[in-house]
Structure 1
Amino acid sequence: MQLQEIPRVKNITKEDFVARYVKPQKPVVIQELTKEWGAYEKWHLNYIDHIAGDKTVPLYDDRPVSHEDGFNEPHAKMKMHEYIKLLETEPTSYRIFLYNLMKEVPALQKDFEWPDIGLKLVKQLPMLFFGGKNSKVFMHFDIDYSNILHFHFHGKKQCIILPPDQTRYMYKIPHSLISREDIDFDHPDYDKWPALKKAKGYIANLEHGEMLYMPEGYWHYMKYLTPGFSMSLRAFPRKPLNLAKAAYNVLIMRHFDNFMRRQKGQDWIDYKNEQAIIKTHRELGIQT
């Protein structure tokens, strides 16, 4: 893939952020947006353990999608204290994904401020994400096409993101939000996945307290370089077409996919995986 570094700024005004990044739908890393937050000093794994160690959390790993799995259904559950101990002692593929810990532990809401940055953020949906060293979040885009402010804490995280116009190269699984799960996006095999050679996107390594702006509908692949966690704040899509796509995904697509899994089982998953290759190569005129 053809990846360029995401631009970085220390701080930015609301007007410049909207004009330079939101309107043209370009990503940016803002390095010091969280410097005045309590979270900047406090949000490390030991603090989360102290304040939320008794909470039972849903865990996901990197196993391929199965027809037996429900939509975003966790693979395991564990006490937060046990999970953080696991993160700190050994590599693990277990991640916390889309967990509203703010609702479970309201005290965390006092540690950050809703940034006045020109986006109308959805205040019911601050989500936390945790991962161990080298754990990966599969390449996907979000079901609601939100504009995302993605803040990282405790350690380092690598983010590879691609705009929606690169979907034709991504081996997208039909009736889903993901690429083929057997693609290694750290070291793509271009003989097996030739379309990826044409994909153009961005890359950034986030440090503690930094924020990545991901415009609506962007593909993203995340890799935890060290144990750590992130928080995403969301704003509904500004483009009417993306709002319509979000409504379709939420109201129709995911329910249809779950229905077909129940009806056809693993055959449905296998069919979709085959179609991802067939449709991608046919559209691009790639002979295989």
Structure 2
Amino acid sequence: MKLDLQQIPRENTLTKEEFLAKYFRPQKPVVIENFIKDWPAYSKWNLDYMKKVAGEKTVPLYDDRPVKHDEGFNEPHAKMKMADYIDLLKNEPTKYRIFLWNILKEVPELQNDFSYPDFGLKLMKGLPMLFFGGRDSYTFMHYDIDLANIFHFHFDGEKQCILFPQSETKYLYKVPHSLIVREDIDFNNPDLEKWPALKNAKGYVTNLHHGNVLYMPEGYWHYMRYVTPGFSMSLRAIARKPKNFTKAVYNVFFMRYFDNLMRRLKGQKWIDWKNEQAVLKTHKALGIS
């Protein structure tokens, strides 16, 4: 038995009016296949180009090790020159990823290669973020702290994306006081006997290729696995639904600080307790013994 996933709809391109009516207002994901062909980035951006323009930059790297109590929020697991990292991506499988790498801050010239599309939403123009990964590297299933509307532009290679709306949270083994689910769930090939609540979750899946744009609605859970080495850029717009906006404010100004405080006070016991609660609360709510 596999996860209950439907393919994300794909469109060749969309007008602002079509996007708002068909996907934003009903909060449904979509892949737009040929929206950015007029961007210089479409023809220029690949791993070799990034090595050329950012090779001397030192970049933070992350892998798939579980969260530890003594690690700071988004603390990197390693650092490396971008040129060396790209050589690593191209020459051998690696779990190391780059995420939330700000183009405007690190390589300002890259902003000349793209424009901010008019989807009818006000994009946060100071936060274009790049994400890189090696073959079979992946992110844990999570949602973003600000529950933003996200436009994810993929470049070079292939990436698998699995999404769930917030309505499915009760089936996903969410870890309390966090933005993640149990880190030992392999969403690429989940053990549904060990994690039976996942049988009830209804989500979406797609594979992105060079030039594809994925729209992820507000607060959508997402798991990203790099089928081949590659990278993506995300642009975001603030959550519009009052419930999601309120939750974003709570996450940013309270939840993460409370979690960090409890890590300092209780150490690994806090992490272990949260992981236990993820199972107990999920199974109790669904009547699973």
State the TM-score, normalized to the length of structure 1.
0.99
Aligned: 1:53 with 2:55: yes
Contact 2:143/2:219, CA 8 A, preserved across alignment: yes
- Code of the residue aligned with 2:177 in structure 1: it is H
1:204 aligns with 2:169: no
Q: What residue number does 2:7 align with?
A: 5
SS at match of 2:188: coil
Structure 1: gaps of 5 or more residues: none
Consecutive unaligned residues in structure 2, runs of 5 or more: none
Once the two structures are superposed, what CA deviation does each residue of 1:144-176 show, in whole Å capped at 9, x if it has no partner? 000000000001000000111000000000000
Residue number in structure 2 paired with 1:141: 143
Other-structure match for 1:33 = 35
**What do you get for the CA RMSD once the two structures are aligned?**
0.6
TM-score (norm 2): 0.99
Q: 1:188-238: per-residue Cα shift (whole Å, max 9, x none)?
A: 111110000010000000010100000000000000000000000000001
Query: Which residue of the partner structure matches residue 22 of structure 1?
Result: 24
Within 1, Cα distance between the matches of 2:275 and 2:136? Answer: 25
Quote the residue 2:193 is aligned against: 191
SS in 1 for 2:139: strand
Deviation at 1:94, TM superposition (A): 0.2
Q: 1:14-42 CA deviation, whole Å, 9 max, x = no partner? A: 00100110000000000011100000000
Counterparts of 1:129-278 in structure 2, within 5 Å, are 129-278=131-280
**CA–CA distance in structure 1, aligned partners of residues 171 and 197 of structure 2:** 5
Using the aligned pairs only, state the percent identity.
67
Structure 1 residue 71: Cα displacement: 1.1
1 CA distance for matches of 2:137 and 2:121?
A: 30
Moved over 6 A (4+): none
Decide whether the 8 Å contact of 2:158 with 2:227 is kept in 1. Answer: yes
Q: C-alpha displacement at 1:68, in angstroms?
A: 1.1
Aligned residues: 287
Instruction: State how far apart, in whole Å, the 1-side matches of 2:111 and 2:33 are.
Output: 21
Match of 1:285 in 2: 287
Q: Distance in 2 between matches of 1:203 and 1:190?
A: 18
Q: After TM superposition, give the deviation of residue 101 of structure 1 in Å.
A: 2.9
Distance of 2:62 and 2:136 partners within structure 1: 14
Q: Deviations over 1:39-63 (max 9, x none)?
A: 0000000000000000010000000
Name the CA distance, whole Å, in 1 between partners of 2:50 and 2:105: 14
